[in-house]
Structure 1
Amino acid sequence: MDVDLRKLRYFVAVAERLHFGRAAEALHIAQPVLSRQIRALEEELKVQLFVRTRRATELTPAGEQLLADARPLLASAEALRRRVGRAARGADVFTVGFMPGLIVTPAVQALRERHPELTVEVVRTTWNDQTETIHDARVDIGYVRLPIDQRGLRVRPLMSEPRVAVLPTGHRLAGKDVIGIADLADEHLLQDPYAVPEWRDIATELRRPGRRRAELLFHAVEEKLEHVAAGHGVVVVPLSVMAFYTRPDVTYVPITDIPPNQVCLAWDSTRRNPLIGEFAVLAADLQSVSQVPGRQRR
């Protein structure tokens, strides 16, 4: 049996939203059409994917398994489409992804100098899509921040940096030289708790059913800082992120008793593009030089 990728995309849209109406809006199709496509997929697979009641839509165990398998399959299909399109256009492009706070210019310039005919582009990524952009070929290699799902990737450590708590300037902890993660136990975290497992393990609000305010979780750095400044909560970020986004209405304090953030290079383990390995070596060499006191790249 051949699985229809269009039906899989429709399924993922519903599975991620658990709402047929909102999924239909996102897909720009009528809800009855979407329902028919999902029923057709269930008939093809001979399983039930959703349990629908008047009040909710939930995934069945078969649906949960299909969602886990469908995402990488769709990403691979999208990557294939992008690569074939580039080949058809004769485009000689190499794309580097990078997380906020990271400077990739030296390595990008070095690759351009080695290959003047090559167009080297950069794409800013987020915690949510830093690996997705690699799997679907939006980027050839990415500067990523751990933790990530490393399945299907090759990962090369690059550097580590301290993490800091970002606070509004009038916060009770503002002005301290350092703090421990326990000092943040009663705070509201404006990011995914799994990104800060040390806080998650001690957080007061996570031990109170119904107290977690999911609507105040943000992904873009700029959004997080706006809400920190407004006093809605705090975030924990790598030092370079805060240094890059300095503003007068927030401050940061180093957290001494949690591990540093690990920055790595990552790329699709199935790719055989020699430029990927060349860029990885350049980036690692330039990072090593930048960490030697008194030395600068000429």
Structure 2
Amino acid sequence: MELRHLRYFVAVAEQRHFGRAAERLHMAQPPLSQAIRQLETELGVTLLTRTTRRVDLTAAGASYLEHAREILAAVDAAGELAGRIAAGRSGRLMVGCVGSATYSLLPAFAKALRREMPGVEFGFRGEMLSPEQATALQDGDLDLALMRRVSDAAGLALGAVRQDRLLAAVPEEHRLGERKRLRLTDLAGEGLIIHAGSGRSAMNSLVHDLFGAAGLDLQVVHEVAETSTLVTFVAAGIGIAVVPEPTAALQVPGVVYVPLTGSPGVELVVATREGDDNPVLGRALALLDGLA
């Protein structure tokens, strides 16, 4: 039995006439009649009763017609879905994002994805530390990550998105909050709030490297996992933080952001698994490139 036998049978059953069914199928009547006889022989039942004027369905034929329609509809739907997935119009994509980009780039990116790719199921995980995102990509839990460069990027493809300059997040009532700009040396002796250490955060490593290169002691008063918590602690007067500029999009009362001059910025990259040829991913990367 082939799918064509089912299509032939459905056409005859709906037209109730071999001649009209043959016209609908754009074929000659004799091979159509032969195909229906082959189908009945294989099934071992009579599906149609034939007279010189019309064709009628037997009880078995009526039941078979219902299921034949369902089978053909499922086959057509499978083909359509495969085409949509191949074109990147259907599928699933899981996106991760570091804290500072969660409040700046991610809202616009998520909006563009939902607008341009409405048939795709998206998931978003914000406030993820970069090493955590790298591991999630390697494990298949993420498909696309907006993160900082990490030491362990095995199996990942990285592309530059933008360069973020650094700011000092300062409690509003702190004396340094009145300055138009600051240098790293201005933070000497100040208690700092930083992201989690022990290789868990790229920003933690960056801040340690900056202070080490400048010959300054880093006085850490608190480590946090989330950027929102870091800024909240600054607002509470617990300490000062060095943050990427997009963090300023997170407007928390009691915090002022002051440009930190003389210090290199920090790069935001997009990471995917090497060799991932998912068409949905390709379309998402093109949208991200337009936004960045």
Q: Is the pair's TM-score, using the shorter chain for normalization, greater than 0.5? A: yes
- Structure 2 unaligned regions, length at least 5: 1-89, 198-203
Amino acid at match of 2:128: T
Please state whether the residue corresponding to 2:287 is helix, strand or coil. Answer: helix
1:232 matched to 2:238? The reply is yes
Please state whether the residue corresponding to 2:192 is helix, strand or coil. Answer: coil
1:155 matched to 2:166? The reply is no
2:126 to 112, 121, 124: 124
Instruction: Assess, with a 3 A threshold, how the Cα gap between structure 1 residues 105 and 201 changes in structure 2: closer, same or farther.
Output: same
Map 1:69-218; keep pairs closer than 5 Å.
92-100=91-99, 101-127=103-129, 129-147=132-150, 149-191=152-194, 192=197, 193-196=204-207, 197-202=209-214, 204-206=216-218, 216-218=222-224
Q: Is the 8 A contact 1:147 1:195 kept in 2?
A: no
2:274 alignment partner in structure 1: 269
Instruction: Assess, with a 3 A threshold, how the Cα gap between structure 1 residues 111 and 182 changes in structure 2: closer, same or farther.
Output: same
Pairwise CA RMSD: 2.5
TM-score (norm 1): 0.57
Q: CA offsets per residue over residues 67-109 of structure 1, 9 Å max, x none? A: xxxxxxxxxxxxxxxxxxxxxxxx9321121222332344444
Q: CA offsets per residue over residues 246-265 of structure 1, 9 Å max, x none? A: 12212111001111221111
Please state whether the residue corresponding to 2:283 is helix, strand or coil. Answer: helix
1:60 alignment partner in structure 2: none
Amino acid at match of 2:162: M
Count of residues in Structure 1 that have an aligned counterpart in Structure 2: 190
Q: Which moved more, 1:196-205 or 1:169-178?
A: 196-205
Q: CA offsets per residue over residues 130-179 of structure 1, 9 Å max, x none? A: 32232222221011134553322101111122210011112221111111
Question: How many angstroms apart in 2 are the aligned matches of 1:171 and 1:94?
Answer: 43
Question: How many angstroms apart in 2 are the aligned matches of 1:232 and 1:255?
Answer: 19
- Structure 1 unaligned regions, length at least 5: 1-90, 288-298
Equivalent pairs: percent with the same residue? 24
| Structure with greater strand share of residues | 2
Q: Is the 8 A contact 1:162 1:259 kept in 2?
A: yes
Map 1:4-15; keep pairs closer than 5 Å.
none
Higher Cα radius of gyration: 2
Amino acid at match of 1:238: P
